[in-house]
Amino acid sequence: MGNGMNKVLPGLFIGSLEDSQDENQIKSNNITHILSLLDEPPELKPFLQNLKYKSIIIQNLPGQNMMQYFHECIAFIHRGRLSEGNVLVHCDTGSSRASTVCIAYIMTIADVDPRSALRYLKAMRNIVRPNHGFRIQLVLYHRMEISEVRDALIEVFGDINPADGAEIKKVLAGLS
């Protein structure tokens, strides 16, 4: 794991900048949406032109405010999955920024704490390692904002698929 994009949940993948530019991986995984979390916008290759693309400019530094983007990123991922699309969340290596957003998404839809969401994501992609500042923000998000974001998802998109939470909890039980 860690070489190439990895499936997190049905319709959700995590990977690197290199993975996001690899036409074979994009096509073989039927990627329809890309969420890019980089220092600067990546070059959009011609084969990416028809995909839904969201770029968040953020550095992989502990002092960066990643939490301000959680609601926007979670809604983008959820919208993509509900449209029967496959969403790739990537940063430079797929280990810190992308994993932080995926952890926030997992926490939101499965109602699990940051540590459990991290354990689940590491089982899917072993190079996951959010920086210390992002980990703190995940704890703050869990304490302060997660209910509001979950309620907004339900209001906009309807109920959250219970199969996601069940799958996450099943994997976590197997890790204990």
Q: Which of 50, 47, 42, 49 is nearest to 25 (CA)?
A: 47
Catalytic choice (8, 66, 89, 91): 91
Which one-letter DSSP state was computed for residue 47? G
Identify the pLDDT of residue 42: 86
Question: Is 73 one of the catalytic residues?
Answer: no
Identify the pLDDT of residue 71: 97
pLDDT tens for the chain, 176 residues long, are 447 999 999 999 999 999 999 999 999 999 999 999 999 988 888 888 899 999 999 999 999 999 999 999 999 999 999 999 999 999 999 999 999 999 999 999 999 999 999 999 999 999 999 999 999 999 999 999 999 999 999 999 998 999 999 999 999 999 97
Identify the pLDDT of residue 101: 99
Sign, Cα dihedral of 83, 106, 17, 55: positive
Instruction: Compute the residue count for the chain.
Output: 176
Going by their DSSP bridges, the two strands 86-91 and 52-57 should be labelled as: unpaired
Assess contact for 8 and 102: CB atoms under 8 A.
Answer: yes
> What are 17's two structure tokens?
């900048």
| Spatial distance between the Cα atoms of 94 and 105, rounded to a whole number of angstroms | 15
Identify the pLDDT of residue 97: 99
Query: Long-range contacts: 120-124, Cβ < 8 Å, 24+?
Result: 120/168, 120/171, 120/172, 120/175, 121/8, 121/14, 123/171, 123/175, 124/1, 124/6, 124/7, 124/8, 124/14
Inter-helix orientation angle 70-82/146-157, to 10°: 30
HEC states along 75-105?
Answer: HHHHHHHHCCCEEEEEECCCCCHHHHHHHHH
